Amino acid sequence: MVVSKICTGNYAAAYGSMRSRARTVAAYPITPQTFIVEHISEFINNGEMDCEYIEVESEHSAMSACVSASASGVRTFTATSSQGLALMHEILPIASGMRLPVVMAVVNRAIAAPINIWVEHNDIMPERDSGWIQVFCDNNQEVQDMVLQAYRIAEDKRVSLPMAVCLDAFILSHTVEPVHLIDQDAADKFVPQYKPTGPILDPDDVAAVGVFTPPDYMMECRWQTDKAMRDAVAVIKEVNDTFAKQFGRDHGGMIDPYLVDDAEVVLITMGTASSTAHEVVDDLRAEGKKVGLVKLRFWRPYPTDDLRKIAEKVKAVGVFDRAVSYGVGGPSFVEFKSAAFGLNLPVMNFIGGLGGRDVSLQDVRFMYEQLLEAAKTGKAKRDITWIGTRGVEQ
């Protein structure tokens, strides 16, 4: 039975964790994530969720508790945002290094200073090398669906890595949309009972996990984690296809391309900017302009091969970043430049939407106009453009 509910992205994330039968949730509040763990506490209080709810004193402790619980062989979940994610940083590589399939919702919010509670991707970008799989959602339906998919991906024996499900602050976290809620029977069919693939903390079967490792073995540990991240690409695609077959919703796997087959230019977006760009593509297509869109869903592992195949067929590529690597450009832009190395085409970076600044239809149209001009001339007007920024040339 399909039940539709008008709900926020925070509710969708919490609901996904409940239907995935997470057994331990470690919680600490931070705007705009707080409602995720509040909803979970309500599910537990109402008898809807059989789960150990741990109130901790910080996000650092929240991830530490998740690592301990996962190491004991139970399915775990937490959520955070911004400064909270930064405080977790010390523990994130421990979860991946120990190959623990912790799932975490990250409500992307600007990092201080100055203090800002609205959307920006600069909180998750520093964690790209922490060993966590990362997916970006652009609607509340995708948030719920990806929490369930996250457990199936993370717990696959070929992967065994933690995963972050990212959603834009307020645009998704606090905005309501219709969501087809997955019932428990269907969820159980899709997400089987968790069975740890390695040794666990068990007083009846003593084992050492996360131990001190000398130089003799460290390279091998790092290689295994890298291999797992690379192997995750195939698993992500398999899980996406399995989900689509069971529920009728195909979110696209690593990327979700739109009208790229005959496109002259494409724009790469992450998160909710994708929905805005989708509408602009339709408008420009109606005007006879061959533009396309690539919704970049997975930031780690990075879909190098998929993006390069598209770039080989177009005349110009734009990358929209809701983040900045100071002095270099947008992080997604830098990654794509690496993926497109050796290809002779203009690549333009558009930085916008920082700190919750609106990304309008006009902004996206401007990006496409710049790309179409670059396709004609074979040269970008400028490599990096700060969209709608006072005192900065457009």
Cα dihedral sign, 364-369-372-378: negative
Query: Quick one: pLDDT at residue 394?
Result: 82
Cα dihedral sign, 71-152-184-79: positive
Task: Look at residues 219, 167, 185 and name the one whose alpha carbon lies nearest to residue 35.
Answer: 167
Record the tokens describing residue 353, joined without a space.
């939407």
Query: Quick one: pLDDT at residue 197?
Result: 82
Beta-strand relationship, 103-108 and 76-80: parallel
| SS3 readout for 329-388 | ECHHHHHHHHHCCCCCCCEEEEECCHHHCCCCHHHHHHHHHHHHHHHHHCCCCCCEEECC
Asked if residue 381 has pLDDT above 80, the reply is yes
pLDDT-based confidence at residue 145 (cuts at 50, 70, 90): very high
pLDDT digits (tens, 9 = 90+) for 209-252: 788 899 999 999 999 999 999 999 999 999 999 999 999 999 99
Q: How far apart are CA 379 and CA 234, in angstroms?
A: 36
pLDDT digits (tens, 9 = 90+) for 270-310: 999 999 999 999 999 999 999 999 999 999 999 999 999 99
Over residues 317-342, mean pLDDT: 97
- Angle, in degrees to the nearest 10, between helices 273-286 and 361-377: 60
Counting residues of the chain whose pLDDT is more than 90, the rounded percentage is: 94
Sequence letter at residue 85: L
Domain boundaries, the chain: 3-247, 255-386
- Assess whether the region 3-247 and the region 255-386 belong to the same CATH fold: yes
Query: Quick one: pLDDT at residue 198?
Result: 78
**What phi and psi, each to the nearest 5 degrees, are found at residue 76?**
-125, 160
CB-count exposure of residue 252 (10 Å: 0-12, 13-18, 19+): middle
| Cβ-based neighbours of 258, under 8 Å, separated by 6 or more | 278, 281, 292, 293, 294, 295
Record the tokens describing residue 322, joined without a space.
């809701």
| Cβ-based neighbours of 74, under 8 Å, separated by 6 or more | 23, 24, 194
Asked if residue 1 has pLDDT above 70, the reply is no
Looking at domain 3-247, what is its CATH homologous superfamily?
Answer: Thiamin diphosphate (ThDP)-binding fold, Pyr/PP domains (3.40.50.970)
Judge contact between 260 and 292, C-beta under 8 A: yes
Sequence letter at residue 246: Q
User: CATH number for the 255-386 domain, one of 3.40.50.300, 3.40.50.970, 1.10.10.60, 3.40.50.920?
Assistant: 3.40.50.920
Over residues 46-52, mean pLDDT: 97
| SS3 readout for 292-339 | EEEEECEEECCCHHHHHHHHCCCCEEEEEECCCECCCECHHHHHHHHH
Torsion of CA 235, 347, 112, 68, to 10 degrees: 10
Task: Look at residues 147, 184, 148, 180 and name the one whose alpha carbon lies nearest to residue 166.
Answer: 147
Judge contact between 46 and 75, C-beta under 8 A: no
Asked if residue 203 has pLDDT above 90, the reply is no
Instruction: Please measure the distance between the N-terminal and C-terminal CA atoms of the chain and give it in whole angstroms.
Output: 51
Over residues 319-344, mean pLDDT: 97
